[in-house]
Amino acid sequence: MLRRAGYGGREIERLMKMANEEHPVTMVDSLEVLQDILEHSPINIMMADADENIIFANKKTRDTLLEVEDELAQYLPGFKVSEVVGGSIHRYHKDPDAIKRILHSLQPGDKREGEITPGHFIFEHETRVVVDKKGKRLGYVVQWHDVTEKRQQEEQASRLQRAVDGAQTAMMMIDRDLVITYANESTLALMQTHGAALQSLYPGFDANKLVGTCIDIFHKNPAHQRKILADPANLPFETDIQVGPLTFHILASAINDLQGQYVGCTLEWSDVTELRAREEEVSRLTSAVQGAQTSLMICDEDLKITYMNPAVIEMLRKREDQLRTVIPGFEVKSLVGTCIDRFHKNP
């Protein structure tokens, strides 16, 4: 099998001799076993002789390269998997002399890690020198991996991580036990802003040690939140939580792993203390206006009616027929959105 893969007789003898020296009374005394181990290894393995010509490429290597043969040929003109064995390793190097110097400097036990990047492909490799028991250099063995897709995923993850880290929205991640596993810069800033208030409510609270803290500390009844967050069917879920004098709006969304398993949540925080206070004030004013006995209308800067309280609506309905004799087409129900100019002889 090794001969069919491109080994010469001397190379096979050397490999077997090395195997015998390392494993004197084991099954690697069998050439067939050694051949099978190399050929069917789940790792891409290639070997080169001392002259740096490729003498072996296992099945995993051949299969991997066949899958991308046409694409590789765009970046390595004339590339064919069938011609890999027998060719120089330097066909794939931009600076062969530099690689030769590195290989020649390798000592037994050393390894050289690097990358080959034809086009958009990224191949990570680890090279070791092979010597006999006298230290004579026999060649090189290379293990390599196509990490193109992995690097793309890592880059995408890195971009997303940078986006989340620098987002203006305060974001945290929690695991299934509701322990904080991540907090972005906006979250830390938010917690530090209210650090004194939070410490007065929760002795020992430290905004700088948020990661590792369970969010139960922010809830009067943790069981309620745990029941909601335990089931991804409840998500997304949003609510306000009251923390002493502070009000935070929380949006919880599910996080699933690559297998689709629910592994935790993202929590988006916003300090709505002032916003809720303004909303409450507006609500009180609206209630007061709605219940006022005085007839009130509100117009915008273009003099269009934007609001009428119940008192003015009731008054105008009582006079609707009379007003229609003066203002043709007058209807109380259509007044909002109407310009008050129509009520004036000289607007």
Per-residue pLDDT tens over the stretch 143-164: 999 999 998 888 887 887 887 7
Confidence of residue 58 (pLDDT cuts 50, 70, 90): very high
Confidence of residue 21 (pLDDT cuts 50, 70, 90): low
pLDDT at 288: 67
Whichever domain contains 13, its CATH number is 3.30.450.20
Do 117 and 195 lie in a common domain?
A: no
| % of residues, the chain, pLDDT over 90 | 37
The residue segments making up the domain with residue 32 are 2-151
Cβ pair 118, 75 in contact under 8 A: yes
pLDDT at 30: 61
Do 235 and 335 lie in a common domain?
A: no
pLDDT at 25: 45
Do 305 and 259 lie in a common domain?
A: no
Do 208 and 339 lie in a common domain?
A: no
* Last-in-domain residue among 117, 151, 185: 151
Do 137 and 250 lie in a common domain?
A: no
286 within some domain:
no
* Last-in-domain residue among 246, 276, 306: 276
Residue 27 scores a pLDDT above 80: no
pLDDT at 6: 47
Do 303 and 327 lie in a common domain?
A: yes
pLDDT at 16: 52
| pTM for this entry | 0.51
185 within some domain:
yes
Do 34 and 174 lie in a common domain?
A: no
Number of domains in the chain: 3
- C-alpha triplet 329, 330, 332: angle, nearest 5°: 140
Confidence of residue 4 (pLDDT cuts 50, 70, 90): very low
Q: What is the mean pLDDT of the chain?
A: 85
Residue 124 scores a pLDDT above 80: yes
* Last-in-domain residue among 127, 151, 175: 151
Residue 8 scores a pLDDT above 60: no
Residue 227 scores a pLDDT above 60: yes
302 within some domain:
yes
Do 298 and 186 lie in a common domain?
A: no
Here the tokens at position 305 are 């009616």
285 within some domain:
no
H-only helix segments in 45-181: 59-67, 69-75, 96-105, 148-165
* Range from 31-40, 48-57, 66-75, 252-261 carrying the lowest mean pLDDT: 31-40
Confidence of residue 22 (pLDDT cuts 50, 70, 90): low
CA–CA separation, 276 vs 247, rounded Å?
Answer: 8
Sequence-separated (6 or more) residues with CB below 8 Å from residue 17: 132
